[in-house]
Chain A
Amino acid sequence: MKAALIRARVEAALEGRVLSPFADRSQQTIETVPTGVALLDALIGGLPRGGLTEIFGPDSSGRTSLLHAILGSATGREEECALVDASDTFDPWSAPGAGVDLRRLLWVRCVNLEQTLKVTDLLLAGGGFGLVAVDLGNVPPKLGRRVPLASWFRFRRVVEHTPTVLVFLEREPYAKTCATLVLRLEPGFENRNSKFETRNSKLERQSAPTVSHACLLHGLRPKVEVVRSRLPNTLTCVAHGQLSVAEEQLSAVSHQLSVFSHQLSDVADQL
């Protein structure tokens, strides 16, 4: 009875400002789109529309290739995509290899972070893009961390309730609680031992071994980890045994925390 009274009072206080203050947003259906990598889709359930996705990792961790796959998937659905390139590093010759239809890609070549944020604001305000990707992969984390949290909240609010997929490619995650999905990529090799052996032998011989191009790039195995996800399908995939037990627990805790922080941030926004 007391809870009902409190609920009624809160609803009355927020009337006109908040439509349904006690609605469980975690139960809302989040539409996802495929990333272009089938097994990754099975792991995370796809990228959320109307949400902010962060993909971060060091160099040669496969984040750019993953971004190209995402762009290829989006252009394959005949959606218009935008790529805001903070450091002008996009390679148009690599992208078609991932299925990117360059005619459907708007490429904005920026020279600094300020331009990048401005352009992202303009693109999101204009609307209509199926995917807006922001490549901060070469922006030093020291600068990236200076992006005010208000900007990330603004991006999240603008893209919310729209069919646009907003993807940030970074070295570190910057959006904190504003992100719907955070993926970490780490570089790796299929046969690390042989790699180290090669390295040791190199040091002994004081000369780098020459291999074929295919051999050099063969066996790279970057790892992907779901750091944060509000997508319900992510847990389902974990339950199917795609991850180890420890990772499953970590993901579950991460998911719980993300849901909780999402609710907190929503309440903060509404108030």
Chain B
Amino acid sequence: MFACIFIPDFPVCAVTRSEPALASRAVAIVDGTPPVANVVAMNEQAHSAGVKLGMPKLTVAEIASVEVRHRSPAAEASAHAALLDLGLVFSPRVEETALDTVVLDLVGLDRLIGPPEEAARRLATRASELGLESNIALAANPDAAVHAARGFPGVTLIPAGEESERLGPLPVEVLAPPPETLDTLRRWGVHTLRALAALPTPELSERLGQLGVALQKSARGATSRPLVPAEATLRFKEAMELEYPVELLEPLAFILGRLLDQLCARLAARSLATNEIRLRLGLENQSSVVSSQLSAEDNGQRSLKLETGSSKLDSSNSSFIIHHSSFSSIRLPVPTRNSKLLLKLLLLNLQSDPPPAPVVKVTLAAEPVKPRVAQGGLFLPLSPDPEQLELTLARIAGVVGKGNVGSPELVDTHRPGAFRMQRFSSKLETGNSKLEIRKSKTEARKSRSDSFNPSFIIHHSSLFFSSPRPLAPSPSSEQSSIVNRQSSIGLALRVFRPPLPAKVEVRDDRPVRVDAFGARGEVVLAAGPWRTSGDWWTDEPWDREEWDIALWSVVCGQLSAAKDNGRRTTDDVLYRIYRDLASGTWFVEGIYD
């Protein structure tokens, strides 16, 4: 058994699939270079309103009830891809007979999709879900199914052996003969397949040759040919060419929403999800195309990539355009086909990086992956929902900027304070060798810095800072060491970014007074110097002399807090200062807190 899915008025269906509001209205599709544009397709309502094939666009525009749209190759390609996806849902062997027709091999799938009636019903339901108004026919051979689908509206089921009888009323045009052959048949008075099937085969062969015999065989529904299955590619792409340029984000959101709905419906039909969405916007009068990509790429850091010099002739508007592409990557930590979530992410991305010109074409592509399979547990640690987290991160990135939100990752270098932001994900990959390497490096760095970071312990109602290795052994220090081993944590540093430039008075090679914005006073104690340098082989070498100091007298806050805290206190504040040996400038790096 073979099933054929045929989309009548395919150009119209491709447009109405993108604009569902047009589904109940009269629509005419015109094609051609303006001002010479003629009708190439229309639906039943438009035909009833008086629209004819080949009618000029200006004439059709005078009919008020008819919506005129330009033919959209992108929309037709998307509709065809959806049609192919529909077929592949039911059968692994699907033939792309034409742009508007696919044939499915249902042999041996009875136990999977049910009897032919059930299969036809399910095919019709799925087609409707994908926004495809289709004719479906099931027959014993592919050609009979194709002819029935092209000739009969709705669902047609032709039992084996009844092909000739059931196909008889159809006009000979469904066989798509060459025009001269069709004229010949009309001159003979042959208008239906039944009439063609009734002709004597030898005489038909004498007059029309092998073509006539083949046509008659098709009219009888007796052809037998192997199916040519299409390669099952996983390309999920939806595009829409806009009639008018869109300047605001709100109408663009509606378009994106429709495209995402179609995309997610196709993914759902194939039982797939996506973790990468690519958005491509065609811009008006800018001779450029802006692409933004939501994809799973390295570290989630936005990277700008310009491609110049690649140019081509755009066939749709016959204008010479140059492609400039800018890519922004957002990692979707888990596969999803939630169109609303994807729409919000796209809109947040567009809000932070709006297109520089009105949009005339929108193309969305999704990278298919297997959907997430997760099992909840009662005793799992608390973590945010990955999809909700992604949305929250996108919103936060809109507030503070993309580079200011994420998880800090320590860089394997001796440069003080070096780190980079990586994408935060609630699902940690355990057993990853890369993470293990990073962890070991972190631990190594931590062990190196232990001598600089004293521990932080608590004793009775007071909190202690205590060095893990006091210089002079004493009973109290021994006790502290015991407590330290029980519960010790690192002393924290509050870092000024950027470091505060300071004037430091030095005597006997030691700082005795510091004057900086927010940190001013006499140096009570000073420890140092620790000299470090590195990266001398690069463009950004560093060479510094570090001191840990305790300031007394005026303990100011930092930055703008100076006014509120410019009072004397009885306690010292510990700072880390350093001198850049290359320039000789002193800086306050941070406060031990």
- Residue positions of A touching B, CB distance < 8 A: 36-40, 43, 58-69, 72, 77-80, 87-99, 102-111, 115, 118-119, 122-123, 125-130, 137-143, 163-164, 171, 185-190, 195, 198-199, 202-203, 206-225, 242-243, 247
**Docked-complex contact A223 and B461, CB < 8 angstroms:** yes
> Given A77-B381, A102-B408, does the pair A208, B471 have CB atoms closer than 8 Å?
no
Known interface pairs A59-B494, A95-B492, A128-B384; 15 further A-B residue pairs with C-beta atoms within 8 A, sorted by A's residue number: A37-B458, A63-B593, A65-B491, A65-B593, A68-B489, A79-B383, A88-B404, A90-B494, A91-B493, A108-B400, A123-B392, A128-B389, A141-B564, A209-B526, A216-B574
Q: Which residues on the A side are within 8 Å of B454 (C-beta)? A: 214, 217-218, 220
- Report which of B446, B463, B495, B574 forms a contact with A217, defined as CB distance below 8 A: B574
Q: How far is the CA of A111 from the CA of B403 in the complex (A)?
A: 13
Identify which of A93, A103, A210, A224 gathers the most chain B CB atoms within 10 Å of its CB: A93
**Contact sample, A vs B, 6 pairs, CB 8 Å cutoff:** A68-B490, A94-B492, A109-B404, A198-B525, A213-B527, A242-B460
Q: Are B555 and A215 in contact (CB under 8 A)?
A: no
CB neighbours (8 Å) of B405 from chain A are: 106-109
Alpha-carbon distance A137/B359, docked complex (angstroms): 45
Interface residues, chain B, with chain A CB atoms under 8 Å away: 381-385, 388-389, 391-393, 395-396, 399-400, 404-410, 416-417, 419, 421, 424, 426, 428, 435, 442, 445-446, 449-454, 456-471, 476-477, 486-487, 489-497, 507-508, 510-512, 522-528, 530, 548-550, 552, 555, 557-561, 563-565, 569, 571-574, 590-593
* Complex-state Cα separation, A215 to B458, whole angstroms: 18
State the CA gap A25–B382 with chains docked (Å). 25
For A207, what are the chain B residues with a Cβ–Cβ distance below 8 Å? 507-508, 510, 512
- B561 x A139 contact (CB < 8 A): yes
Q: When chains A and B are docked, how far (Å) is the Cα of A163 from the Cα of B381?
A: 11
Chain A residues in 8 Å Cβ range of B446: 96-97
Give the distance in Å from the alpha carbon of A207 to the alpha carbon of B357 in the complex.
65
Please tell me if the beta carbons of A128 and B456 are within 8 angstroms of each other in the complex.
no
How many pairs of residues, A versus B, come closer than 8 Å at their CB atoms? 332
* Chain B residues whose C-beta falls within 8 Å of the C-beta of A222 in the assembled complex: 462-465
User: Is B494 in contact with A210, judged by CB distance below 8 angstroms?
Assistant: no
Top-5 shortest CB links A-B = A97-B490, A128-B384, A220-B465, A214-B467, A126-B392
- Contact between B382 and A80 (Cβ–Cβ < 8 Å)? yes
Q: How far is the CB of A236 from chain B (nearest CB, A)?
A: 15
* A220 and B464 form a contact (CB under 8 A): yes
Give chain A residues whose Cβ lies under 8 Å from the Cβ of B491. Answer: 65, 94, 97, 217
A59 to B566, CA, bound (A): 12
Give the contacting residue for B524; candidates A94, A142, A208, A215; CB below 8 A.
A208
> Is there contact, CB below 8 Å, between B463 and A62?
yes
Please name all residues of chain A whose beta carbon is closer than 8 Å to the beta carbon of B571 when the two chains form the complex. 58, 60, 186-189
Residue among B396, B405, B510, B522 with max Cβ neighbours from chain A (10 Å): B396
Collect the chain A residues with CB atoms within 8 Å of residue B396's CB.
108, 119, 122-123
* A60-B592, A94-B493, A242-B460 known; A140-B564 Cβ under 8 A: yes
Given known contacts A97-B489, A137-B494, is B456 in contact with A69 (CB within 8 Å)?
yes
Residues of B contacting A171 with CB < 8 Å? 557, 561, 564-565
Known: A61-B593, A213-B451, A221-B463. A88 touches B471 (CB 8 A): no
Most B Cβ at <10 Å: residue of A59, A66, A118: A59
Contact A92 B410 (CB under 8 A): yes
Q: Beyond A97-B489, A98-B492, A140-B561, is A210–B526 a contact (Cβ under 8 Å)?
A: yes
How far does the Cβ of B394 sit from chain A's closest Cβ, in whole Å?
A: 10
Q: Do the beta carbons of A37 and B489 come within 8 Å of each other? A: yes
Question: Complex: how many Å from CA A222 to CA B459?
Answer: 10
CB-nearest residue of chain A relative to B552? A199
Contact B548 A60 (CB under 8 A): no
**What residue in chain B is nearest A67 (Cβ atoms)?**
B492
Contacts of A39 in B (CB 8 A): 458-460, 487
Instruction: Assess whether B489 is in contact with A92, with CB atoms less than 8 Å apart.
Output: no
Q: Determine which of B461, B592, B593 lies in contact with A224 in the assembled complex, contact meaning CB atoms within 8 Å.
A: B461
* Bound complex: CA A128 to CA B530 (Å): 43
Of A77, A93, A137, A211, the contact of B419 (CB 8 Å cutoff):
A93
Query: For the complex, what is the distance from the CA of A139 to the CA of B450, rounded to whole Å?
Result: 30
A213 to B525, CA, bound (A): 10
CB of A242 within 8 A of CB of B461, answer yes
Q: Which of A59, A87, A216 contacts B593 (CB 8 A)?
A: A59
Q: How far is the CB of A269 from chain B (nearest CB, A)?
A: 26
**Of B388, B407, B572, which is within 8 A of A103 by CB?**
B407
Enumerate chain A residues within 8 angstroms of B445, measured Cβ to Cβ: 93
Asked if A122 contacts B392 (CB within 8 A), the reply is: yes
**Also in contact, A60 and B591, with CB within 8 A (given A215-B471, A218-B470):** yes
Known: A37-B489, A208-B525, A216-B525. A79 touches B382 (CB 8 A): yes
Given A58-B571, A218-B466, A69–B561 Cβ distance below 8 Å? no
